[in-house]
Amino acid sequence: MPAGRGRRQNEKERTMKMEKLGRNDHCWCGSGKKYKQCHEAFDEKIHHFELEGHMVPTHEMIKNPQQIAGIRESGRINTLVLDYVAEHIREGMTTAEIDRLVDTKTRELGGIPAPLGYEGFPKSVCTSINNQVCHGIPSETDVLKDGDIINVDVSTIYNGYYGDSSRMFCIGNVKEENLRLVRVAKECMEKGIEQVKPWRFLGDMADAVNRHAKENGYSVVIDIGGHGVGLEFHEDPFVSYVAPAGTEMLMVPGMIFTIEPMINMGTADIYVDDSNGWTIYTEDGKPSAQWETMVLVTEDGCEILAH
Ligand code: MF3
Ligand code: CO
């Protein structure tokens, strides 16, 4: 998840498959170089962490420069679409209008909205208002009203590569406690981004997110997380925002995933709307806020590919 993937799916596949590559064979990354002059030492470093009992990425989770360039472009388009939403979103607008803005702008920029038809999702964007946590479906009858907080989650396919990010928007006069939730949710994402560094763990990032949420009296949704992204909409690994530091998967250069914690004002409990099978609500009816960014792990930290 998001998007219906179970937590911990493919757990076994997370374990690095040590390929029986000869040192003079072509490297698995597609560079055309000999393995010993390319990723051999890198793989050995990863294997060392695996022997220590850590979860480590498979080669499929590590993107090559050509893939990174394509995914970066898709992320750029995704960001432009969200900028366009930011310019036009306003009180009185329906979420179906937001859907049309996103669909039109995405296609104008040469992309395809990834949500449309994804596992049966009926619209081109997710719009989640107030106590909706995520996966809200745009509708002609949902009108943005004064005081609403809304997450607009945009995902793009561009030249076959995927981009994914989301932002919160505050409509009219939002009450102070909800403004604070929106602000702290953004800070949670930012604190997570600060922890994205090679040879550290996804749990380091999660712990930073969770601590900041807790310190502010909020809770982090447990069962829905982030995901690898780029060649597909949702790839491994599952990205938790409640794990302890030093746990979860090792981060290595070339991995691309989302940081998209859902921060609840009340309890972390959620439920799915039975009537559409998609929309997630807070169990206690209190508001939830989410910001999403897409990051590339680099040699010395990370690069934001979409925001
Ligand atoms: N954009 C969401 C995410 O951040 C996924 C939405 S799946 C959809 O992962 F089908 F609802 F679009
Ligand atoms: Co996502």
Whether ligand 1 lies within 6 angstroms of the CB of 292 is answered as yes
Cα–Cα distance between 187 and 185 in angstroms, integer?
5
Query: Which residue's CA is the nearest one to ligand 1's atom 9?
Result: 2
Ligand 1, atom nearest to 1 Cα: 9
Whether ligand 1 lies within 6 angstroms of the CB of 126 is answered as yes
Cα–Cα distance between 124 and 166 in angstroms, integer?
13
Using the mean position of ligand 1's atoms as its centre, give its distance from the Cα of residue 177 in Å.
27
Which backbone phi and psi does 77 adopt, to 5 degrees?
-60, -45
Which 8-state DSSP code applies to residue 202?
H
Cα–Cα distance between 97 and 104 in angstroms, integer?
10
Whether the predicted pLDDT of 6 surpasses 90:
no
Pocket test residue of 135, 189, 279, 288 for ligand 1, highest count of atoms within 8 A of CB? 135
Q: How far is CA 164 from CA 102, 135, 226, in A?
A: 13, 13, 10
Say if CB 201 and CB 246 are below 8 A apart: yes
Which ligand number lies closest to the CA of residue 137?
1
Nearest Cα neighbor of 115 from 92, 130, 95, 90 is: 95
Using the mean position of ligand 2's atoms as its centre, give its distance from the Cα of residue 73 in Å.
17
Whether ligand 1 lies within 6 angstroms of the CB of 135 is answered as yes
Cα–Cα distance between 98 and 95 in angstroms, integer?
5
Mean pLDDT, range 131-157, rounded to an integer: 98
- The bridge status of strand 235-239 relative to strand 226-228 is antiparallel
Nearest Cα neighbor of 85 from 56, 49, 109, 61 is: 109
Ligand 1, atom nearest to 125 Cα: 12
Whether the predicted pLDDT of 37 surpasses 50:
yes
Q: How far is CA 307 from CA 10, 75, 254, in A?
A: 28, 8, 18
Confidence of residue 18 (pLDDT cuts 50, 70, 90): low
Say if CB 284 and CB 270 are below 8 A apart: no
Q: What is the pLDDT of residues 147-188, one digit of tens each?
A: 999 999 999 999 999 999 999 999 999 999 999 999 999 999
Neighbours of 141 (CB within 10 A): 7
Which ligand number lies closest to the CA of residue 117?
1
Pocket test residue of 95, 119, 128, 134 for ligand 1, highest count of atoms within 8 A of CB? 134
Beta-ladder partners of 263? 220, 289
Q: What is the pLDDT of residues 200-222, one digit of tens each?
A: 999 999 999 999 999 999 999 99
SS3 271: strand
Using the mean position of ligand 1's atoms as its centre, give its distance from the Cα of residue 140 in Å.
20
Mean pLDDT, range 262-291, rounded to an integer: 98
pLDDT at 13: 46
Cα–Cα distance between 149 and 172 in angstroms, integer?
9
- What is the residue-averaged pLDDT of the chain? 95
Whether the predicted pLDDT of 5 surpasses 50:
no
* Cα three-residue angle 198-201-206, rounded to 5 degrees: 120
User: How many angstroms separate the first and last alpha carbons of the chain?
Assistant: 19
Mean pLDDT, range 234-257, rounded to an integer: 98
